Structure 1
Amino acid sequence: MSVPESIATSTADLFDADPSGVAVCALPFIDYGGRARFRGPCSTLVASDDPSAIAQAVSEPGEGRVLVIDGLAVADCACLGDMLGRRAVDNGWAGVVVAGLVRDSAALAALPLGVRALGTTARRPFGRDGGAARDVSVNLGGVTFEPGLTVVADEDAVIALRRSETDRCRP
């Protein structure tokens, strides 16, 4: 099924057009970024308390991708702040979805970057190596985010398209 470009960034319209092709994340994300709507191919990271893994990810060319971070194991500190947010912008990331916390929320709101997270804290990561994993399947809020699937976020939801957009456009 082809999705008209006029509804390409509306999660509700994408769901209505193809309910079986859209997975809606049930986590209560809050918008912290300067872009309320964003979309792009998924890249994933299971975070540890070692901030270098996240720094390394956002230092790569983003090429319009969305970094989905499972930070639930490090709920006592932020996975993303203004410096890593700026690095993500500089490297072409469309957005970052954090199942965890962020900090420097006012500065993140000023960046041209989509940011969704579960809350904020003042605490930074402390650098204990917890074994981060990159570009693996991540299950968050009933959705399996896999590298390459399209992630779409807007004022209503964060969703993953179950098929690639190329597949969605085939008859």
Structure 2
Amino acid sequence: MEFHTADLCDEHRERVKVADSIFTLYGQKRAFYGPIHTVKVFEDNVLVKQALETIPKESVLVVDGGGSKKCALVGDNLAEIAVNRQLAGVIVFGCIRDCAQINEMNIGIYALGTNPLKSIKQGKGLENVPVQFAGINFEPGSYLYADEDGIIVAREQLV
């Protein structure tokens, strides 16, 4: 279903929160929406991979990476999991790598930037907890809408 975040903001101004414009959009999918699933990690992407492998299709994975730009939390292998499992998209409060390959994939990934260094693999972090960054709260079960104008969150499905 086609939507525009600007139109959703106009129609549902009191029901949406708008994320700060701190992200870059990667991948061929220029708009996506779905229910939010979260992981909270720091320079460790084990839980990111597990979530990509298990959350329901058409979901949005929101990764609170603490804003670290010292390594990547998602690369082309993890992006391919998201594509194959038909996830709606991914938000990374951190970095990705393999952006040239990801830009050829049918996925939308918002991230702070890129870094070629892979993350550590310790499996530390939290799953399905509310996370806060970019000026808003991302709560599991809420809905995220993203397009080239930005990212918005609502407690309920709007489209």
Deviation track 1:94-119 (CA, whole Å, cap 9, x = no partner) reads 10000110000011111111110010
Q: Which whole-Å CA distance do the structure 2 matches of 1:9 and 1:132 have between them?
A: 33
Contact kept, 8 Å, 1:45 with 1:133, in 2: the verdict is yes
Q: What does residue range 1-171 of structure 1 map to in structure 2 within 5 Å?
A: 9-72=3-66, 74-129=68-123, 131-161=124-154, 163-165=155-157
Asked whether the 8 Å contact 2:37–2:55 carries over to 1, the reply is no
- The one-letter amino acid paired with 1:106 is A
TM-score (norm 1): 0.86
Please, which runs of 5 or more residues in structure 2 have no aligned partner?
none
Query: How many Å separate the matches in 2 of 1:114 and 1:89?
Result: 9
Q: 1:164 is aligned with what amino acid?
A: E
Structure label with greater radius of gyration: 1
Secondary structure of 1:43's partner? strand
Question: Do the aligned partners of residues 80 and 102 (structure 1) sit closer, same or farther apart at CA in structure 2, a change above 3 Å counting?
Answer: same
CA offsets 1:79-133 (integer angstroms, 9 cap, x no match): 100000001111221100001100000111111111100100111002245x311
Percentage of pairs with the same residue: 35
Q: Structure 1: which 4+ aligned runs deviate by more than 6 Å?
A: none
Task: Please list every run of 5 or more consecutive structure 1 residues that lacks an aligned counterpart in the other structure.
Answer: none
Distance in 2, Cα, partners of 1:136 & 1:103: 25
Q: Distance in 2 between matches of 1:62 and 1:20?
A: 28
Question: Separation in 1 of the partners of 2:80 and 2:56?
Answer: 12
> Is 2:44–2:73's contact at 8 Å kept on the other side of the alignment?
no
In the alignment, is the contact (CA less than 8 A) between 2:72 and 2:119 conserved in 1?
Answer: yes
